[in-house]
Every structure is written in C-alpha cells, then in structure tokens.
A and B are shown apart, each in its own frame.
Chain A
Amino acid sequence: MRFSRTSKALGVAAVVAMALTACSGGTGGNNATTGDTTKVITANNTEPQNGLLPANTNEVGGGKVMDLIFTGLVSYDAKGKIVNELADSIETKDSQNYTIKIKSGETFSDGTPVTAKNFVDAWNFGAAAVNKQLNSYFFESIKGYDAVSAEGSTLTTMEGLKVVDDNTFTVELAQPESDFQLRLGYTAFYPLPESAYKDPAAFGQNPVGNGPYKLAADGWKHDVSIALVPNDKYNGPRKAKNGGVTFTIFSSPDAAYTSVQSDTLDVLDQVPPSGLQNFKTDFKDRFVNQPYAGNATMTIPSYLPEFQGEAGMMRRQAISMAIDRQQIIDKIFYGNKKIAKDFTSPVLDGYSDSIPGNDVLTFNAAKAKDLWTKANAISPWPADKVFTITSNIDGAGNKEYITAMANQIATNLGIKAELNPVSSFKEMRALVNKKALTGASRAGWQADYPSLYNFLGPLYGTGAGSNDGNYSSAAFDSKLSEGLAATSVEAGNKLFNQSQEILLKDLPVVPLWYQAVQGVWSNNVNTVEFGWNGVPLYYDITAK
C-alpha cells in the first residue's frame, strides 16, 4: 500500500521490543469464545481517495475497506504468511508459468459464482491503460502488460492470462518471479463480478465483493462513515466474528484518539504523535505496540554531483554512521521504534539482522568523520555547501526528527546540514519525481505484500518505478534477477539478502528505523489483534 502524507510509514509510528508484543497482542484467537459476536464494531479510517475498485485503490483509507469486502486467491494471516482463500492450488515449475485452480461453489455477495474468468477479466481491466487504474503497474510482470499499458493503447487483454475452464486459469509472466504468489493477496489482484464493467465508476461507489463483509445498503456516506455488514456467503478463513464494522472518517488522528478514550470509537489503528508519550498509561492493557512491514529511510539521490563515485560512496557511509538513531528514537519517538539493520522489515519471512556490512548502520562518529575526510581528499566538499534533507512538514512528526538528524550530521561531520521544509506532500512528490532535489529527502516504504523483494526491487532496481534516487547497480540487478528466478520463496530470500550486501556498501538510501504500529481500543471490545501490515484484523474483533 502506498504511503501518504498521513500514513503510518511517515514518521508517525515506531517499533518496540518484541516482548511487549507478546503480552499485548496475539490473543485474538480466543475472542470468539467470550465475546459478543452480534454487535457492530466502530473503527477509524480516512476517506478512500478513489472509488472502491481493486486496481484503483492504492492508499490505506480505501485499502482497509477493500480488504474486508473482497477476497483474492490468497490472504495473509497475522504473521504475513499466505493462506489460501479462493485458490485451491497455485502451481509452477519454473516460477514463470503458473496454473491456478480456484475453489468451486464460491459466490459474490449478490449470489453470482466466482469463476476463473472473473479473475482474468479483473486483472486485464486493471492493467489496461484505457481504464486509468492507479495500480496498473502491479500487473507489469504478466506477459502482454507492455502492450496494454502503452500510451494510447486500446488493447484490453494481456496474452499471459488464459482461462482454461470455470475453475482454472493460467498465468504466464514475462520473466520468472519467485515471489509472484506472495503478491496475490494484494488488493489489485481481487476478482470483479461481471456487473462491474457496465459502469465501473458507479460500481466503485457501491461495490459488490466476495469478502467477509459487504457494504451495507447506502453504507458509504462520503467523508462521514462506511458501514459494512457480514457477508453470509463468505466461507473463507476470515469469517466475521462481529455484527459488522463501521468505519468513521477522521480527518485528524488526534480526534480519533480522544474518541477511543471516551469509548465512542472502538478501535484506533494509529496513535497520533501527541499520544506516543502517554498511550500506555491512557490505555493500560488496551494497546498493542508491534512492528509492521514498513521502514523509514533517507534517500541520497545518485544524481547529486557531490555524491558520485568513490567519494560519494564514502560520504553516504559517513552520513549513515553520523546518525545516532537510538538517540532520536528515545528522545523524539519515546522509544517506540527500533533501529534498522537492513533495507526491509523484521516482520518478513527471510529477514536477517546480521547481513554482512550492516555495521554501516551503527552510529560511529569517529569512523564517520574519518570517512568524510577521506572522501574530501578525493574530491573536496564545496565550501559553504549545506547538506539539506527535504521533507513535507504537514505530516506530523517529520520536522522534529529530521531537524535532529541534520544537527547530528552537522556536529559529527563538521559540515552545515539542515531540514529543507516543503509545505505539502504533493510539493515533495513533485520535487522527487522531477529528480529536482538538491540534497537528501525523507523516504520510507510500506509493504504492499509481505515479501523481501517488495522492499528491494521496486525501490533500487535500475529504472524501477519507485527508485527515486536513480540508483543503478549491475551487480545488484543481477542478484535480484537471480532471486526472482529461484524456484522457491526460501531460495529467493537467501539471494535477496545477498543483494542487500551490495546496497549496504552503496547506500542508495540510508535506512533509519523500522516502523511499528501503536493501536488502542475501547472498553467495549476484547483484545484486538493487528496484522503484519499494521492493520487490525477487524473480522476477528468481538464486542464485550
């Protein structure tokens, strides 16, 4: 899922020790025996930015709703492991050609059966340029994507997708990708009923899905609330254990926080920065504090003249070692984060905290200064040049930590460094997309699906869509391709971690810390469990 101005990935949240997680979360499974399963649960949300179509939902506000009213071939459990939903089997011998069998007898909430064609049509719809779907790039691995997504293209089907019979379809990718099946639980890959295509815009306002919930009659009151009721036609592993979920739209997380405090809102999935200091005492045994698949980084674009070649590499390493991450976490985030040891996230399968070379992420002022001096011997840092870190400051919490970071860099390297504030997220993105930065910029990633590759390929592959710093390394690219061509997810992960060794030398971005979700709930509900992506398992919540 994308991160936006207000999303968790951006400096709001933080990580805490796993021990805390163990005692506060992880008991969701017991709810059903004690809780009331008929009451409606209320939860915070933001207004979805687009109509509710799978391939057009790329932000958290719409994603939370989509993931409840739709279900795909697989879903993710609390740990991020894939669980079959509609898939009966997903088979491949070469990580390039997949045969997917779906369960028979499953239906959409309007009673029409879910068939292989519903998947194929929905994916084709999402990919085709004529339909202007924001998530279209998610289908780029499928053979034939280039043709349907080209500017001006009127094609609407990809040659890599073929319906075999009602319950079987095949997918041919343009090249082998070992983590393809991990992606299939993402919003973009949901099926659509036949009725969706007549008027997709109208369908997006009143979607018919196949998930554990369905939209209540007239359920989406824009900017106010979204009411979901259980879908009794759903038979998967995420069966609703409550009488429905009503999302209340909050424009500020602070307002939501006070609502949970007064028990007028049941679940808040992100404590605002103003509550970070006190939420543990405000909510005693009604909070979680656990890592989720997201991180915070700082991009140092490779197009900056001062950061070229050998000297540039040393400078980036020096900057990384000049940042005392723990101090910032303690002083600004009240200890609610965990320093980064790699480029991914500790909640992922295959994560390693001991990748060779990751000592470059450890604070070491002496070595930093030393490297900086060596770099200056190769090509001197321009006199009076200020090292800037660009960030939008409308998202709460950004300004404080970046200013602190700039001060540390300035002190430890003996240069000038400062925050370059821009007023809004759109201004920040415009600068980043135009490659018009004159210094570093705040960055971060929130996983779309639980996979190491998702933290690496889209961000650091040569020419990749989110490669904001224009990083390019042949060695890294070939390691990535090797990992993708692996015949199992495990073998792939090993290679992905090897590719990170290259990143740790080059530091296209400086990893800072792993994100964590701080969630709280009211006295009206039992313990709430949060998933691998920091989103509460809404279907599992029971009322008291």
Chain B
Amino acid sequence: MVMFTLRRFLQLIPVFFGATLLVYFLVFATPGDPIAALSGGKPMAPAVEAALRAQYNLDQPFWVQYGLYLKNLVTLNLGQTFSGQEVSAVIARAYPVTARLAIMALAFEAIFGVFFGVIAGLRKGKLFDSTVLVASLIVIAVPTFVLGFVLQLVVGVQLGWARPTVSGAAPWNELILPALVLGLVSLAYVIRLTRASISENMNADYVRTATAKGLSRRRVVVVHILRNSLIPVVTFLGADLGALMGGAIVTEGIFNVPGVGNLLYQAILKGESATVVAVVSLLVIVFVVANLVVDLLYAWLDPRIRYV
C-alpha cells in the first residue's frame, strides 16, 4: 500500500513536466502578439515595446523561453503576469475560491446523487424511478450556461433569494447557487450510475445470503448493496473533481466568481504563458491526486482489492 502510493507520487514528476511542456507550447503556438494587445491598438514607443518583450522573454525562441521558465520553476518562481503581479500570488487568491466551489458542487452531487440513485434503484420501474430518469435526462441535455443564466435570473433577480453574482470574498453561502449549477449535470450522471449499479447488485448472491441471514432490509441496503455499488460512482466523482475545478469557466463567468476558471480564461486571451502553465499544471496535479485517492478508496470499499 505504501509502496503503491509512493510509486504513484513518483509518476507525478514526469506527468508534471510533460504537462508544463505541452501547455507552454500550446500557449506559444496560439496566434497573436501579446505585447501588441497590451498596447490596445494605440501606438507604443519602440524602445518600450522592445523592453517589454525582453522582460517576458518573448523575444527568445521557444526552447529558450521554456528553459528559462523551468529554471525559475525550480526556485519556485512561477513568473509574473503582464500586470506585474507574481503568478504565485494570483493563484493563491484564485485557487481557494474554486476549491470551495468545486467541493460544494462535489458534495452536492455526491449526497443527492447517491440518495436519489439508491431510491430509484430500489424502486426500479416505479413512478419515482421514472421521474428521476426523465428529470436527469433533461438536466444532461440542457447546457450549463442555460441552466446558469435561468437560475441566476429566476432565483437571483426575480425572486431575490440569493445574490445573482458572488461578492468579493466569495463566502460559502453565496457559492451555493453557482455550486448547484456546476454540480447539476454531474448530479444527473451520479444518479444514473448509482441507480444502475444498485439495481444490478440487488440480485447478487451475497444480497440473498444477507437477507437469508435475517438482516434488516436497512442493513442489507446500506452496508451490503450500497457499499459494493459505490465503486463506479467513486471513480466518476474522483475524475469529476478535476473536471469541476478546471471546467468551472462557464459557471464562474456567469456568477462572476473570482476563481481559477476566470483567471485561466483571461490569461489565455492575453497569451500570458506563465499564468496558463501554472494554473493548468496545478489542475493536472489535482487530477492525478484525486485519482490516487479514488484508487485507494477502492480497497476500502471492496476488501477483495489489494495493492502491492
């Protein structure tokens, strides 16, 4: 188990460097001139332009730029944004906000998803099951930005139950609405996964044995069926955490959440390599770690699984 974990952490190193190289190259390869955009179509004194290019190494070929970036990275210097702020400071501000948002969305989809999924699975073919199936189908079919704008308008503007946009500090209570929107599509998937898994395991031998032993239905469902049915759900949730953190661009835009998605979007438009690479590399790490946690959870959920 320890060896397994250690090995997985070692795998992080090549993944990290591969990600930075790839992302750095992609930003480098996007057409356009960041310095020209900085001047906004107004003239810029040639000396100023040359000095700015040199400051961000934009006058160097790709490998030199990337090499200089790596060199700084080793000393934990993530570089500077075009506005002269430390990228590390920018990220330190944005990550906690998005982490809060993603965790709330994840909790929301895990709790409600499993709950509705279990009930639907146990009452397969009944009215509740059909309703949940149709409802989740609708949610999956409607794009996130539609859900976001509609909820913002109805709940935020017309009913006035919540602020339509998040205020500066992005406190937990104001993130409820965006987290709901962010988690809704995944919620539908979790419901469907749980339902399918539960209804499949209902007929398993060990369930019949448990029932025959005279265990209460509650114990059979919660301890025997549910625990064994959670493996695909946990796999999905683990992968989803990374997706939620990186994929919050649309939701953060709608609700004006000052998080990673917004940061990344703006940085890509500006061609700010230092920011894009740092944000994406961190997302890659989140992805990898989340998947590691999922793998470790397998053993806890199903004792038949062992790691060596």
Residues on A close to B: CB < 8 A?
2-5, 47-51, 58-59, 129, 132-134, 136-137, 149-153, 201, 204, 221-225, 248-252, 254-256, 258-259, 261-262, 264-265, 394, 422-430, 432-433, 443, 458, 464-466, 468
Contacts and interface: CB of A to CB of B under 8 A. Distances in A.
A221 to B, nearest CB: 6
A129 B48 contact: yes
Nearest to B270: A426
A271 B149 CA distance: 16
Interface string B256-273: 101000110110011100
A424 B45 CA distance: 23
A427 B36 CA distance: 9
B55 interface: yes
A461 to B, nearest CB: 11
Given A134-B38, A150-B47, A252-B256, A49 B157 contact: no
B40 A3 contact: yes
Contacts, number: 172
Contacts of A137: 42-45
Contact of B269 (A59, A265, A424): A424
A265 B85 CA distance: 27
Given A252-B253, A427-B31, A430-B36, A224 B258 contact: yes
Interface stretch (B161-169, B180-188, B283-291): B161-169
A250 B84 contact: no
B174 to A, nearest CB: 10
18 contacts: A5-B269, A51-B84, A129-B51, A133-B48, A149-B45, A149-B48, A224-B258, A248-B168, A251-B252, A251-B262, A255-B253, A258-B156, A264-B163, A422-B32, A424-B269, A430-B33, A433-B33, A468-B41
B255 A255 contact: yes
Which of A151, A225, A258 gathers the greatest number of chain B CB atoms within 10 Å?
A258
B254 A255 contact: yes
A262 B48 contact: no
B46 A151 contact: yes
B83 A51 contact: yes
A426 B271 contact: yes
B197 interface: no
Given A129-B45, A258-B156, A429-B40, 11 more contacts: A2-B41, A3-B40, A129-B47, A149-B47, A149-B48, A150-B47, A255-B165, A262-B156, A423-B32, A425-B32, A428-B32
A466 B48 contact: no
Contacts of A152: 47
Contacts of A136: 44-45, 48
A221 B168 contact: yes
B60 interface: no
B253 A151 contact: no
A250 B256 contact: yes
A2 B156 contact: no
Nearest to B52: A132
A225 B168 contact: yes
Contact of B39 (A2, A204, A255): A2
Contacts of A425: 32, 37, 269
Given A134-B44, A429-B33, A262 B157 contact: yes
Interface in B212-258: 252-256, 258
A258 B33 CA distance: 34
Given A48-B83, A426-B270, A223 B41 contact: no
Q: Which 6 A-B pairs have the closest CB atoms?
A: A465-B43, A2-B40, A427-B32, A426-B32, A426-B37, A129-B47
Nearest to A248: B168
A429 B31 CA distance: 10
Contacts of B82: 49-50
A430 B169 CA distance: 37
A4 B169 CA distance: 27
B153 A258 contact: yes
Contacts of B171: none
Nearest to B163: A264
B50 interface: yes
Interface of chain B: mostly helix, strand, loop or mixed: helix
Contacts of A256: 165, 256
Interface residues of B, number: 55
Interface in B5-58: 30-34, 36-48, 50-52, 55
Contact of B165 (A49, A264, A468): A264
Contact of B83 (A49, A151, A259, A432): A49
A151 B49 CA distance: 10
Contact of B51 (A132, A248, A427, A458): A132
Nearest to B47: A129
Nearest to A129: B47
A430 B153 contact: no
Given A134-B44, A465-B43, A249 B258 contact: yes
Contacts of B38: 49, 134
Contact of B34 (A3, A132, A149, A426): A426
A150 B47 CA distance: 6
Nearest to B256: A255
Contact of B48 (A49, A132, A221, A432): A132
A515 B44 CA distance: 25
Contacts of A2: 39-42
Given A58-B39, A133-B48, A258 B90 contact: no
Contacts of A430: 31-33, 36
B67 interface: no
A251 B266 CA distance: 8
B152 interface: yes
B153 to A, nearest CB: 7
A264 B164 contact: yes
Which of B31, B93, B165, B252 gathers the greatest number of chain A CB atoms within 10 Å?
B165
Contacts of B266: 47, 251
Nearest to A133: B48
A204 B152 CA distance: 36
Nearest to B255: A255
A422 B30 CA distance: 11
A222 B88 CA distance: 13
B160 interface: yes
B230 to A, nearest CB: 37
Contacts of B90: 222-223
B44 A222 contact: no
Contacts of B55: 132
Nearest to B268: A424
B40 A58 contact: yes
Contact of A3 (B41, B253, B255): B41
A258 B153 CA distance: 7
B94 interface: yes
Contacts of B37: 4-5, 424-426, 429
